Structure 1
């Protein structure tokens, strides 16, 4: 057996460690670390310096990083948000998003940019809950109408985009057969969740878990990893996208872990595993594999970036005007900018598209570049709009339509300042 080399992995990990230090030393450089991690991957990768290749150790850790990224995204989902009049408006907004994305995707598919317009519709419809929540919190709007509205819309978009991607572009059969597999997968997940919920009520077992949770056994982390790997493997066995299994594993943990105050160190430990090792490797590797040369060598390919950016802004931003009556025009525009912020799902779905030969690496690079620009520009622009429109007490207003005591709560991402930023 050939010996594995770990030099590439060393350089990737070194880049992942140096970037947050650099951001700490340069506080005026207000860029999310994920943007710099991907950019650094481009620079040290084959496209520029050629120092690092995505060999086996790097590729394996990168795949684990993608899986853990979607797992933590599922962990952000708070079931309490998936009900009430505000969420019904969010669902209507997502339907409008799909309606806007469809003709755009059909035109771009006719131009030869993608082979399947449905894939582009799904890519354009997603957002990034984990990137948006810190921005909302920093603006002081997390408990107000703007924050609750955007959180609800982002939650619906994240869930639906991942389900649609797995349903339409899984590995086995057509959409009809995958629908049956998805239903079966859901039944198995519900059964596992119910079994785990019943087991957690056994007092003796709970006592054992508490005694082991902060010991070298780290039992809650181990059980979470078992669930993550198990549902990922189950999704793959059913011919569904593995990212669906990872995402659902996070949602299951979110449902079962209803008393985080009893074990406050548990979720920071998951963050440490993800953002301390796996997720930075994934983002740097994304830069390594980005077809920047193909993008720069073809003017028509480079033109795709601003077109995709405008499409993303239109598809995700215009539905936010549904909230204008509640938020006012300026703040609804800010909500649209936040909803149009997307990167992690773009990276994951373009990898699926390239693997299935539904888009070229150049188009994938253009879409990822679009996501990078959205993360770098849209949240800052949204914050500027919020600040200029701020009125005394406005940030603390509950969302219209919420019943007293039923306001949407900020997702659990508050435990981590930048959940999707590596």
Structure 2
């Protein structure tokens, strides 16, 4: 193992928060700057750092941990609450639009795999959306509940579909569906077993006693779950990220009240992810970004606004259905913009697509560039709309829209 390139990658990851702190009025998400820094320092521009085996290995682990944290963010109460029907209608509309857009681009000769493009367009960056809604004091409002529910549904659908149809291990669709059901059953079994095990007085007491010692037992058990489900997913012919994503959902279901009863648990997991592994993935994605392919010709560059518009169409337009919940025009527009904000799954889809020759480098670069622009532009437009939309009265009586 050689650490020279890894040192630079980690130095970039440590520098980004300081750079963002210098311009606090510019709400630029950290992952965007990490990817841009990787592009500048990588072979595409300055050629100061290379994606060697050590960096790539940690990047793959970081990708899995990113999907784990995304699964951990899913609020299942939002997906089965009173607004669930609207979320479901919006998701169906998004999938339909994604299919139409992917098919249309393929007919026009602009993309190679309409299915891959459609799946990439369905996802929303849930991890970026939640902090924005919290800053706008909108999480508990209908606009926040619908946006988080829609983002969760989109994230789940994109990861499952990506693993179902795009994997390095080929098999028939029917067998893959059966294997996916088997993986889901295994996850359900883990959830049920874990919940029942929590009823054991001895086990519960032991977990509490060891949670904040050098044993860090909750973190260790979680790491076993992430790697274990990732390994099972790979053995079943899926991508490891699906297992990691399911692990996040399992932890969320087993410990739904972790924020109140074990407030340090999620903090520790986020420390491992956002403090170490996830930034390595984003910086490495920038290092591997094919800038030459993006600027090879005008047609490649014009694909960036095309994919950006496709994101807004596929994820933003279905937010119109949220008007049925009484949202104002400003809230509907804000929700649509936030749902169209997507980056991590797009990077994942582009990475997998390149490995499987399902997407050309120019399209992969343009798709990632569109994702970068979406997390910069769309939240900047959505936040003022959220701030000027009506708030519910403090007494609990709703304010008329």
* TM-score bin (small chain): over 0.9
Question: Would the alpha carbon gap of residues 395 and 373 (structure 1) be closer, same or farther in structure 2, given more than 3 Å must change?
Answer: farther
1:351 aligns with 2:351: yes
Deviation at residue 333 of structure 1 after TM alignment: 1.1
In 1: Cα distance, 2:395 partner to 2:341 partner: 21
Using the TM superposition, give the Cα deviation of residue 45 of structure 1 relative to its aligned residue in structure 2, in angstroms: 0.2
Question: Which residue number corresponds to residue 404 of structure 1?
Answer: none
CA shift in 2, pair 1:307/1:50, >3 Å: same
Structure 1's consecutive aligned runs of 4 or more residues displaced over 6 angstroms after TM superposition are 394-400
Counterparts of 1:47 and 1:12 in 2: how far apart (Å)?
A: 15
Match of 1:17 among 14, 17, 21: 14
Is the partner of 1:143 in helix, strand or coil? coil
* Partner Cα distance (1:129, 1:334) in 2: 15
Structure 2 residue aligned with 1:279: 278
- Structure 1 Cα separation of the partners of residues 271 and 391 of structure 2: 38
Residue 28 of structure 1 aligns to a residue in which SS?
coil
Confirm whether residue 370 of structure 1 aligns to residue 362 of structure 2.
no
Which runs of no fewer than 5 residues in structure 2 stay unpaired? none
**Equivalent position of 2:313 in the other structure:** 314
Which of 1 and 2 has higher RCO (CA within 8 Å, sep 6+)? 1
Within the alignment, does 1:207 sit opposite 2:216 as a pair?
A: no
| Displacement after TM superposition at 1:17 (Å) | 0.2
* 1:61-210 map, 5 Å: 61-170=58-167, 171-210=169-208
* Contact map agreement 2:334 2:386 (CA 8 A) in 1: yes
- Greater CA deviation, 266-275 or 27-36? 27-36
Change in Cα spacing, 1:210 to 1:387, as seen in structure 2 (3 Å) is closer
TM-score by length of 2: 0.95
Per the TM alignment, residue 148 of structure 1 is displaced from its structure 2 partner at its CA by: 1.1
The two structures have a TM-score, normalised by structure 1, of: 0.90
Are residues 259 and 386 of structure 1, via their aligned partners in 2, closer, same or farther at CA, if it must alter by over 3 Å? closer
CA RMSD of aligned residues (A): 1.9
Residue 306 of structure 1 aligns to a residue whose secondary structure is: helix
Distance 1:398 1:92, change over 3 A: farther
CA displacement 1:302-323 (0-9 Å, x = unmatched): 1100000011101111101111
* Alpha carbons 1:93, 1:320 under 8 Å: kept: yes
* Cα distance in 2, alignment partners of residues 372 and 208 from structure 1: 45
Partner in structure 1 of residue 227 of structure 2: 229
